[in-house]
Amino acid sequence: MSQIITGPAFVLGDDVDTDQIIPAEYLSYNPSDASERKYFGMYALSGVPRSQSGLPGGGQRFVEEGQYKTKYAIVIGGKNFGCGSSREHAPLAIAEAGAKVVVAEFYARIFYRNCVNGGYLLPCETTQRLVHEVRTGDQCAVDIASATLTNKTTGKTYTLRPLGDAKPIIDAGGIFPYARQTGMIKAG
Amino acid sequence: MARMTLTEKIMARHAGRPSVEPGENVWVGVDILMTHDVCGPGTIGIFKEEFGPAAKVWDKDRVVIIPDHYIFTAEEKCHRNIQILRDFVKEQGLRYYYDADFVQGSGMPSPYRDPNKTNYKGVCHKALPEEGHVRPGEILLGTDSHTCTAGAFGQFATGVGNTDAAFAMGTGKTWLKVPPTMKFTFHGRIPPYLTAKDLILAVIGQISVSGATYKTMYFAGEGIASLTLEDRMTLTNMAIEAGGKNGVCDVDEKTLAYVRKRSTRPNWEVLKDDPGCAYCYEHAWDLATMEPMVAKPHSPDNKDTARNCRDVKLDRAYIGSCTGGKITDMIFAATILQGKQVKIPTYVVPGSTEVHSDMLKLNLKGQPKQAGQKSVYEVLQDAGCQIGPSGCAACLGGPSDTFGRLNEPIACISTTNRNFPGRMGHKDAGVYLASPLTVAASALTGFVTDPRDYVSGPIETGLAGVA
Ligand code: SF4
């Protein structure tokens, strides 16, 4: 995982559930099939109600119609990001679209676990409510080493919470590489 | 010796430790791993990628596969996904697989003719206990957030993603953070106009959709003891709707009678909270003062009483899912609908083929129907309900040809568990979550309706769903 992630931010509200992140109708694609996996990028965050999609103001698409990739590098959320189902397709979809990090106040636990164990996305937590501090399209930089998010558009910097227990697994790149490094399963 | 909760004890035993404390991370052995048609193909893909194409699952009797989500659809990819499960089951020699055997070839599959003559079960969380895969004291992982349902049997059960499931598939292990326990006590006996759905909607309304994040929800008190086992499953099923890691109820004779009859293994361990163990939150309710509840759009914690919502006009009613598609739920609904006609389109989906079969066999008292009596199925049909085959159906929207799916921005009252935007189909549809009693009463009027207007006395569900 690179230590500094920069690019425009896409801002969402509270309780963004997994049906908003990847609507159930697209779950028939098999994420393990290379030719189908890209569709999760295409439909990432397509279930977010229009008024909430790209705050403030809303009405913005995370991924443009007909595209597989997003122009946003960072997703900002409020409370309880990723609540709802256990579908790992949710962090996978955001990552497949090309975003690298989500910054929210806190996460639903299965989503957080899937981000970490699957090694898809970096789930960062903030002490402040960034939903009102960052506007969709603002250029931001997340610096992992110093645990900060800087909004380059406004020039303000915010503190991120330490990664805690999940850090060794995040550093390894997921639960499988972690288990190999620590000798739990045979290094393949 | 540390005083531990039920969940802490299960984790300690599965970690090979004398005790554990909330917040600790432990590696535990898994008793059962369940997956289904939506997350199975992805899990199998990761399993093969990580352990190699010739890898074998850690125990072929402990990986249970239950297709249930996208069964009755013409979408090719869904049929393909079922085929991926079949191929894997064959290759691995898995013992417990419940094939949608009527899904052959292309197009919309015609459902099983007789619910007793198919290997197919329907919704995994209902099928798991029916087929003997839940037991007190065990650890169950499933690639589905409502896996927490099985906590009603005094076990630790939680939902995981594909990667965790693939890891457990190969190693029989997972890491878990020991959760602190929240205790919800219910005093009194359940009155006839309430079901467990009202209790859990009140709890979630109080603590919010994230109020139990990372925590165990323990449902206690004589009020819980007065519930049927199926109604307890409604409580633990929706623990995830408050963000809970798992939900648990105490084991009693009702639990043991069921498990003794069904379990595929002879042994299990009944554990309970030590007196004086620590809870991070406690709250008590008196069942006599509780009211029929709804969760308004678009969140399970957007609580209100059914009575307050009586001016809300509805377009559709839905009775089904792992939360509200059990045989007792069907009896609750049928008791209200008996001899009357629904005013709005009302869709009924049995939670499993066993529920479907019981609907055909049992009368409104949950007893085998006698000559001249109507079955639960007939009562619902006579009232004008459209009854589909067992499965997840419109609970999670699914492909656009799914039975009961909300393809338009309409208002629906439903016995399901989740009403975030788009959950049952259309992004702008409004879903009201309620008990089967409230949904049935509302189906009769076309408005959200308090079931006390229709319930005159105790509803006996007899032997339905008991053993
Ligand atoms: S019935 Fe609904 S909640 Fe239950 S497993 Fe199926 S989709 Fe999930």
Per-block mean pLDDT, blocks of 10 residues, chain B (467 long): 94 98 97 98 98 97 98 97 98 98 95 97 98 98 98 98 98 97 98 98 98 98 97 98 98 98 97 98 98 98 98 98 98 98 98 98 97 97 98 96 98 98 96 98 98 95 89
Residue A184 domain-assigned (yes or no): no
Across the interface, of B81, B399, B428, the residue whose CB is closest to A25 is: B399
Hey, are the CB atoms on A25 and B428 less than 8 Å from each other? no
The pLDDT of residue B463:
87
| Domain enclosing residue A64, as ranges | 4-162
Tell me how far the alpha carbon of residue B465 lies from the centroid of ligand 1, in angstroms: 19
Which residues, other chains included, contact B104 with Cβ-Cβ below 8 Å and sequence gap of 6+?
none
Q: Which of A22-31, A162-171, B175-184, B351-360 has the least mean pLDDT? A: A162-171
All residues of chain A having their beta carbon less than 8 Å from the beta carbon of residue B396 are 19, 24, 85
The burial of B29, by beta-carbon neighbours within 10 Å (0-12 exposed, 13-18 middle, 19 or more buried), is given as middle
Task: Give pLDDT, residue A2.
Answer: 60
Cβ of B355 less than 6 Å from ligand 1: no
CA A57 and chain centroid, separation: 21
The partner residue sitting opposite A28, judged by closest CB among B70, B162, B213, is B70
Residue A188 pLDDT exceeds 70: no
Which pLDDT belongs to residue A3?
86
What is the CA B465 to chain-centroid distance, rounded? 14
Q: Please check whether residue B187 is in contact with residue B222, taking contact to mean a CB–CB distance below 8 angstroms.
A: yes
Shortest-distance atom of ligand 1 to CA B320: 1
| Chain A residues with beta carbon closer than 8 angstroms to that of B45 | 30-33
Domain count, chain A: 1
Confidence of residue A75 (pLDDT cuts 50, 70, 90): very high
Average pLDDT over residues A68-86: 98
Ligand 1 close to Cβ of residue B241 (< 6 A): no
Residue A178 counted as domain residue? no
Q: Which domains does chain B have, with CATH numbers?
A: 1-290 (3.30.499.10), 293-453 (3.30.499.10)
Placement of tokens 């015609």 in the chain: B110
C-alpha of residue B417 to centroid of ligand 1, in Å = 8
Is A181 in CB contact (< 8 Å) with chain B? Answer: no
pLDDT tens, A86-101? Answer: 999 999 999 999 999 9
Q: What percentage of chain A carries pLDDT values higher than 70?
A: 98
User: Region A119-144: what's the mean pLDDT?
Assistant: 96
Rounded to whole angstroms, the Cα distance separating B24 from B141 reads: 19
**Looking at the domain assignment, is residue A30 inside a domain?**
yes
Is 0.95 topped by the overall pTM?
Answer: yes
Strand order across the beta sheet in which B181-187 lies: B246-249, B216-220, B181-187, B281-286
Could you tell me if residue A167 is inside a domain?
Answer: no
* pLDDT at A1 exceeding the cut of 60: no
Name the strand (E) or helix (H) holding B378.
helix B376-382
Please report whether residue A168 resides in a domain: no
CA separation, residue B185 to residues A12, A64, B221, B281 (Å): 36, 49, 5, 11
Minimal Cβ distance to B210: which of A80, A118, A179? A80
- Across the interface, do B81 and A31 touch by the CB < 8 Å criterion? no
Pairing relationship of beta strands B430-434 and B216-220 according to DSSP bridges: unpaired
In-domain check, residue A158: yes
Which residue from B minimizes the CA distance to A184?
Answer: B171
CATH code for the domain of A110: 3.20.19.10
Atom of ligand 1 nearest to the CA of A24: 7
- Residue A150 in any domain: the answer is yes
- pLDDT at res. B85: 98
Contacts of B141 (CB under 8 A, 6+ apart): B30, B32, B33, B34, B147, B157, B158, B159, B160, B164, B165, B168, B174
Residue A188 domain-assigned (yes or no): no
pLDDT at B242: 98
Write the Ramachandran bin of B214: left for phi over 0, alpha for psi from -120 to 50, otherwise beta: left
